[in-house]
Chain A
């Protein structure tokens, strides 16, 4: 059968990063084709190339769709040809009704005046196709995420979809909503709609996909047919095997327990559900403890709730640091108790970009450069210069604004800020996100130095190889719970993924 879509030799560069390099993808009419890969492997970039978000000419390679070379310049171009993409973050307007959302930008109108009767009639027909019976006038915000996802699909059907792309459609869904969505996918397939699904959930892929293409580091690794699809095979292709020498060596010298957390439970800030459920763990002196989990598993929420209750509500559980009960009820008390939290988003949550390096470093410990509430500019500069030297922050001077620094150097400034609070335990959330390979190695080396100096480090990362390469011990997290613990020797990607998959949907 001739392919409906052929993407050949696709390459796409961003400043400093080669996001895609030689990606090949072939999709046959009427199939469900899954795309797998780690976070950052290039899946979403590939779909943006396909749908015209990155216009023709901004990427290398060739796209053949329906036997014609496709040169989409905008999303509208690709939609006109029946290619519709449903993103992970839903693109619905919560205040508008189901019908208004369904035909947003595509209104049933003549001469700019909306024909509401026809709009509602067609909305009802489309809702029926996806198994919903909501009134067309219901505001979308009143519906659950599962139903919203189905409305997105109905919206795609309204546009005469021929190739439907679903980017992690079940990431935010509960188990039974996910099952419904997968059933709908199979039904659409029976009606002849070709579909591409991007998903982390390998059990779902096995259930619906006819073929799987695995992408790693921006290149196609393999395309597996239905009989070849096994979780082991997909994981092996996703991860690859060249992991030597990406991480500096360290001989762990692990001491007594520095921080212990018991029965930590956190509720969602708005919804009546637990986002962290009865989590307990210890961090020891000189140890790097990893927390592994997929996006949305609750890793960041755990760290934020520990650090001054900066996330969630009704927080229960106890924590102690260096043997004494720790009061973590506000950020300043958590800092006082010896905890530091390096956020996953350094630009939004970690730095004041407009301000110079020295002022960012002193921010969390202004008392350390002041006496009686009066700042000493001299002490501030001396502190900044010390960290600049120790952490090798590359800058012409500590009075440079941090916005002028590269990602790796910005991350070092954030680390310096927290080291200056003299913490016992540091929680590093995605410490190497968005920085290049050389800078990553430097951050890893710094982490090794920190534990060698007797700190305890908790490392949260979406990049499993990084956790495997750096951590002495790994807790696996899924759906807000710790679902397994692996020592350095036991830990492997396969085992982490297996623990996640086994726990899937078992939450109460």
Chain B
């Protein structure tokens, strides 16, 4: 026992703000990285990093990482890992191509069938992990090989494509402008403004409930400063997108999923139980939580999201290729850890994961524009991942 019962352990202000600091720190890091590339690329090449087209590209290139990272967060929070997502995305993408191109199925049938396929794959892996207690590392390592092999088999080593327009629209389509014609795209602007308002509103609501229950609220200056930055960034992105072709369909799908998963993890009993399971599985089980079923569920969910990502990637390339999705699992897992999830499970937030994935994505994109070789890119990305996690561990140790 470090303290006696008489006295009360009071952590310092720093520790109390620790959670906020980390999230703010990540958003700040993202902004700094964006600024860094903007200045550098302008200076070196005279190109605008934040051009409408490049911002659009950023989302198109990274949507699948973010979508899979949502599911990966749940897997990692529950104390597991999924190494198979890249192969599963490739395989499900190949299945969707096979159904569409070879069998001529319509899009509205291909999408649910492919998602179902992903769910079944997740179930097949989750079954061994949840009910047989086979380590997820091993099961999904096996899955990584199996589904890569099945992809090669299904595609016979060749590409399948091209796709009908409706299928491509999933990835490369844009939301049409209902309100006006020409530039700027008013629908995009209105939707982004609504999203910004929603963020401020939910922030204020949280603040009110903090005040109502006597929780020390975040200082008003910090709160408004943070929201000003977030809303500013959002409106800037919206304005830029509106100058180009409007909101990409993928961005909308991704945003809706982010909101759903944020709500699920923070506001629902099932979400809470996943965190409890990752925090202390034995205590969770002795509190009446069906831990096996939850683990199984997180893998099924991961499979479905991998299938969605697989279709998006396939649609973007306009063909299913045997090598699609190679190395995705590493990007996705890196995004989750940069976003602040703990390797041992039990902690991590959706918003952190999204920021983590964007940091990786911006760095990929920026370094490519600058013409940095793939060799250095890998080194730099690896060091960023390591630095983010060291920062996390250091912070946690300091808080004791």
Are the CB atoms of A375 and B282 closer together than 8 Å? no
Say which residue of B7, B287, B347 sits within 8 Å of A417 (CB atoms). B287
Are the CB atoms of A408 and B268 closer together than 8 Å? no
Is there a chain B Cβ closer than 8 Å to A353's Cβ? Answer: yes
Are the CB atoms of B215 and A381 closer together than 8 Å? yes
Complexed CA–CA distance, A351 and B284 (Å): 8
Are the CB atoms of A436 and B5 closer together than 8 Å? yes
Give A353 Cβ to nearest chain B Cβ, in Å.
7
Is there a chain B Cβ closer than 8 Å to A350's Cβ? Answer: yes
Which chain B residue lies CB-closest to A382?
B213
Are the CB atoms of B284 and A352 closer together than 8 Å? yes
Give A389 Cβ to nearest chain B Cβ, in Å.
12
Is there a chain B Cβ closer than 8 Å to A307's Cβ? Answer: yes
Also in contact, A436 and B213, with CB within 8 A (given A363-B287, A394-B8, A417-B287): no
Give B203 Cβ to nearest chain A Cβ, in Å.
14
Give the total of B residues in contact with A, Cβ under 8 Å.
Answer: 40
Are the CB atoms of A310 and B286 closer together than 8 Å? yes
Are the CB atoms of B5 and A394 closer together than 8 Å? yes
User: Interface SS of chain B: helix, strand, loop or mixed?
Assistant: loop
Are the CB atoms of A331 and B287 closer together than 8 Å? yes
Give A437 Cβ to nearest chain B Cβ, in Å.
10
Give B270 Cβ to nearest chain A Cβ, in Å.
7
Q: Which residues on the A side are within 8 Å of B215 (C-beta)?
A: 381, 397, 399
Q: Which of A342-395 contact B (CB under 8 A)?
A: 343, 348-355, 359, 363-364, 366-367, 370, 373-375, 377-378, 381-382, 385, 394-395
Are the CB atoms of A375 and B269 closer together than 8 Å? yes
Are the CB atoms of A331 and B3 closer together than 8 Å? no
Are the CB atoms of B272 and A366 closer together than 8 Å? yes
Is there a chain A Cβ closer than 8 Å to B280's Cβ? Answer: yes
Which chain B residue lies CB-closest to A343?
B286
Which chain B residue lies CB-closest to A342?
B286
Q: Which of B211-236 contact A (CB under 8 A)?
A: 212-216
Give B199 Cβ to nearest chain A Cβ, in Å.
18
Are the CB atoms of A352 and B267 closer together than 8 Å? no
Q: Which residues on the A side are within 8 Å of B288 (C-beta)?
A: 308, 330-332, 334-335, 364
Complexed CA–CA distance, A94 and B268 (Å): 45
Also in contact, A406 and B279, with CB within 8 A (given A332-B288, A343-B286, A349-B286): no
Q: Which residues on the A side are within 8 Å of B398 (C-beta)?
A: none
Are the CB atoms of B272 and A406 closer together than 8 Å? no
Is there a chain B Cβ closer than 8 Å to A148's Cβ? Answer: no
| Interface, chain A (partner B; CB < 8 A) | 15-17, 307-308, 310, 330-332, 334-335, 341, 343, 348-355, 359, 363-364, 366-367, 370, 373-375, 377-378, 381-382, 385, 394-397, 399-400, 404-409, 417, 434-436, 438-439, 442
Q: What are 24 of the A-B contact pairs (CB < 8 Å)?
A: A15-B1, A16-B1, A310-B285, A348-B280, A349-B283, A349-B286, A350-B286, A351-B283, A352-B276, A353-B280, A354-B279, A354-B346, A363-B276, A373-B269, A378-B209, A385-B213, A394-B7, A397-B215, A405-B3, A406-B3, A407-B1, A407-B5, A435-B5, A438-B4
